Amino acid sequence: MNFRRGRLREDPEINLIPFIDVLLVILIFLMVTTTYSKFTELNITLPTADAEKAAERANEINVTIDAKGNYTVNNVPVSFQNVAGLAASLKAAARDPAKPPVVIINADQFAMHQMVVNVMEAARLAGFDKLTFAAQTGTAK
């Protein structure tokens, strides 16, 4: 039995207004809670020091490493064959064997890290446990 004879069938409608409201609330929530981070390449700034130059101390060894891999110990060029040879050069440069000196590493910014590690290992083999790194003074930018 069909009780709806004379009536036309209406097409069902989907009301989109509540759906849009819910989507806007979700969008606002995501925008507020999301952290935006920018991934870039690693920028490294070499250290600079603004302090006054310290007075020369008698019990220190200056080791210089240039970009080509040349070592100098107290401004005397040293050829590098192995870490033990560099340790012997550091021991020879010590002025007072009773008091261990401070080893100051002056490395060029383009020197390989392994060269600095070699000096640190040579200082350990020589028995010098005080190390420091020299930095250039900063300039106003």
pLDDT, tens only, 51-77: 666 665 668 898 999 888 889 998 888
Look at 13 and 38; give whichever has higher pLDDT: 13
Counting residues of the chain whose pLDDT is more than 90, the rounded percentage is 25
8 has pLDDT over 80: no
Mean pLDDT of all residues in the chain? 81
Most confident of 32-46, 47-61, 101-115: 101-115
pLDDT band at 23 (very low <50, low <70, confident <90, very high): very high
For tokens 């891999």, name the residue: 69
Q: Which residues in 43-57 are b (16+ Cβ under 10 Å) and which e?
A: eeeeeeeeeeeeeee
Mean pLDDT of 122-128: 91
Task: Assess contact for 59 and 99: CB atoms under 8 A.
Answer: yes
pTM for the model: 0.57
